[in-house]
Structure 1
Amino acid sequence: MKTRTVELVVKPKDPHFVGDGFRVHNFIPSGFRLDMERMNPFIMMDYNSKFHFSATDSPRGVDVHPHRGFETVTIAYKGKVAHHDSSGGGGVISEGDVQWMTAASGVLHKEYHEEEWAKKGGDFQMVQLWVNLPKKDKMSEPKYQAIKKENLNRFKLPNKTGEVEVIAGEYNAVKGAASTFTPINMFNARLEKGGKVDFSFPENYNTVLLVIEGSVTVNGTDHAPTDHLVLMANDGENFTVEASEDALVLVLSGDPLNEPIAAHGPFVMNTREELMQAFHDFNNGKFGYLEN
């Protein structure tokens, strides 16, 4: 088995607001060789690094917007988000929870800071990913997977040096709580200072690490501080992450979809014609109704 090397360590770009509730650094797609084709099936990553929101009686967030052709995955590290959609789904994503929404054939969606949390304010930190769907599944029925923190399985590292929380995929025979359309590994690695963890994924899987807290060294050579992204090359299987200080790292690795990508705004399809159909369906009310 060959070592997978680091292709790039990427510092966060200047943040921007999505709505008025999410102050994000966009990593995917971007000009850092992190375009949709290179990172497929991970076609978007917005990272709300730790940011303090003041108390308010009017919860901040994002108004009603459509999605079609992919899945959104929201991982809550700090803060709470309430969400609703046009198919009648909704709920609250609390600290440590994961919300996996399969938009597929289309939903209208809105998300806001949870009302009681907003009244108090506090630190807010989250990741939102878009996971591409294969052509055969893009027009399937929308669905939700609301995964609570307590239902996530964990692998404890030796000598109490940390743990790997498995959201999707499998780590050392510990299986993730989320079901996926294609092979995807999604882990939170929590490491004590000096803690070390080994990962192994097929060489062709596109793989990135996002340092949520602390700092780490990959393969003993490449240093990645807080809020930095590590793009791993597709040149091997195995790599090691060691914590320079107490650290939390989001680990993503997935089998790329070798299909065309046609993306515009909130729609990700395979052809321009399918994109035009998505806009037509949205404008004609076929995504249902959701009040702002």
Structure 2
Amino acid sequence: MKKEISFSTKGNEANLGPLSINRMLPNRYTNKVGPFVFLDYVAPAIKEIINENGMGAHPHRGIATLTYILQGEEEHFDSAGNYAKINSGGVQWMKAGTGIVHGGNLNYDSETDSKMVQGFQFWINLPAKNKAEKPAHIAIQANEVPKKALANNAGWIKVIVGNYEELSSKIPNYSEQFLYHIHLEAGQQFSISLKDKIEAAAFLTTQNVILNDVEFQTAELIEFGKKAGAIEIKNTAQTTADILLFGGEEYTEPIVAEGPFVMNSQEEIVQAYQDFYAGEYDTIDSKIKDKI
């Protein structure tokens, strides 16, 4: 039995300099998919100039941010003193916990000949008990992302978050969650079965594919129903296709989101702002700024 399709959307587009940003989550149909409460897609674009000043530092509390760069080079710096740079295929994960200020810098990949940038930023909502933990950060380079070939030379799968068969991501699981990058060769297909009450969505990064017998377009987000069932992905094109599949168990605690904070009550949102303006999130250290 295949999972039902709930909706599809291409999100809302905004421009940030040469970059086109598509806000996929939240959208008019839903505010979350499993623990994922936010998704911005940086559409493929040529970036000719290196930005050395960062994209603006800002606070977070109550979530973990996850940046996955398909093409490009991304720097991370924060008020806990963390600094890292990842290249194409790499991942940056940051647990905001009780509060942190962080910034980023997205440029073309200095290790390749391409000036193309393309990537994603997710926010992963933390359970209430983990919102009170100290901030943490993990940088994962492309060659450290768990990956395996699919059967019958159909392509490959990367595990960005969660687990798949014997593969496990370095990113902590505070609830059942997954984020897979699936690459299918021309004319190939892949199927995965998900148990009951698992929320899931797919995002198409390169071209149209067929999901559970329905064709969807590039840069489209598709969410599936919660009942147990399979998600079947078919690439009927003459070229390769790439799909992100993500989700997890339903987040059942109350959610109140405002600006950069995602908490469990309005009172906690107020406290998050008060603590930020009182300086309790600290500032980005000058030693980190020197590396930007």
When normalised by structure 1's length, the TM-score is 0.90
Structure 1 residues 116 and 174, CA, compared in 2 at 3 Å: closer, same or farther?
A: closer
CA distance in 2, matches of 1:94, 1:139: 31
Comparing 258-267 with 167-176, greater Cα deviation is found at: 167-176
* Separation in 2, partners of 1:172, 1:27: 28
RMSD between aligned residues: 2.1
Cα distance in structure 1, aligned partners of 2:77 and 2:10: 33
Identity of aligned residues (%): 26
The match for 1:236 among 228, 240, 245 is: 228
Counterpart of 1:24 (choices 16, 21, 24) is 21
- Helix, strand or coil at the partner of 1:54: coil
SS in structure 2 at match of 1:273: helix
Q: Residue 217 of structure 1 aligns to a residue in which SS?
A: strand
Secondary structure of residue in 2 paired with 1:276: helix
Of the three residues 203, 216, 227, the one matched with 1:224 is 216
| 1:236 shift after superposition | 2.6
CA distance in 1, matches of 2:105, 2:228: 41
**CA distance, structure 2, for counterparts of residue 46 and residue 60 of structure 1:** 21
Alignment of 1:72-221 (within 5 A): 72-114=65-107, 117=110, 122-219=115-212, 221=213
Looking at structure 1, the residues matched to 25 and 80 of structure 2 have their Cα atoms a distance apart, in angstroms, of: 28
Inter-partner Cα distance in structure 1 for 2:254 and 2:2: 30
Kept after mapping to 2: 8 A contact 1:60/1:113: no
Residue in structure 1 matched with residue 251 of structure 2 by the alignment: 257
SS at match of 2:252: coil
**8 A Cα contact 1:59 1:115, kept in partner:** no
Give secondary structure in 2 for the equivalent of 1:193. coil
Equivalence for 2:280: 286
Conserved 8 A contact 1:92-1:114: no
**Residue in structure 1 matched with residue 38 of structure 2 by the alignment:** 44
Query: What is the CA–CA distance in structure 1 between the aligned matches of 2:92 and 2:108, rounded to whole Å?
Result: 18
1:195-231 CA-to-partner distances (Å, cap 9, x unmatched) read 1111122221110101111221012x21122111111
For the residue of structure 2 that corresponds to 1:178, the secondary structure is coil
Structure 2 residue runs of 5 or longer lacking an equivalent are none
Does the C-alpha gap of structure 1 residues 82 and 208 become closer, same or farther in structure 2, counting only changes over 3 Å? Answer: same
| Structure 1 alignment gaps of length 5 or more | none
Distance in 2 (CA, whole Å) between partners of 1:71 and 1:237 is 28
Moved more, 147-156 or 97-106: 147-156
Query: Is the Cα contact below 8 Å between 1:27 and 1:46 reproduced in 2?
Result: yes
- Looking at structure 2, the residues matched to 108 and 134 of structure 1 have their Cα atoms a distance apart, in angstroms, of 20
Contact 1:55 1:121 in 2 (8 A): no
Q: Is the 8 A contact 1:213 1:248 kept in 2?
A: yes
Aligned residue among 21, 26, 34 for 2:30: 34
Change in 2 beyond 3 A, CA 1:60/1:196: farther
* Cα offsets for 1:22-63 (capped at 9, x unmatched): 5310010111x1224xx241100000011112224x436421
Counterpart contact for 2:77–2:102, Cα < 8 Å: yes
- For residue 13 of structure 2, what is the aligned residue in structure 1? 14
How far apart are the structure 2 equivalents of 1:200 and 1:176? 19
Structure 1 letter corresponding to 2:232: T
Change (3 A) 1:282 1:223: same
Moved more, 229-238 or 94-103: 229-238
Deviation at 1:156, TM superposition (A): 1.2
CA separation of 1:115 and 1:9: change in aligned 2, threshold 3 A? closer
Indicate if the aligned counterparts of 2:11 and 2:27 stay in contact, CA closer than 8 A. no
Matched, 1:273 2:272: no
Q: Distance between the aligned counterparts of 2:283 and 2:168, measured in 1?
A: 36
User: How many residues are treated as equivalent by the alignment?
Assistant: 283
Q: Find the residue that maps to 2:129 and give its secondary structure.
A: helix
1:21 positional shift: 7.2
Aligned to 1:71: 64
The 8 Å contact of residues 87 and 109 in structure 2, kept in 1 or not, is answered as no
Q: Which residue of 2 aligns with 1:4?
A: 3
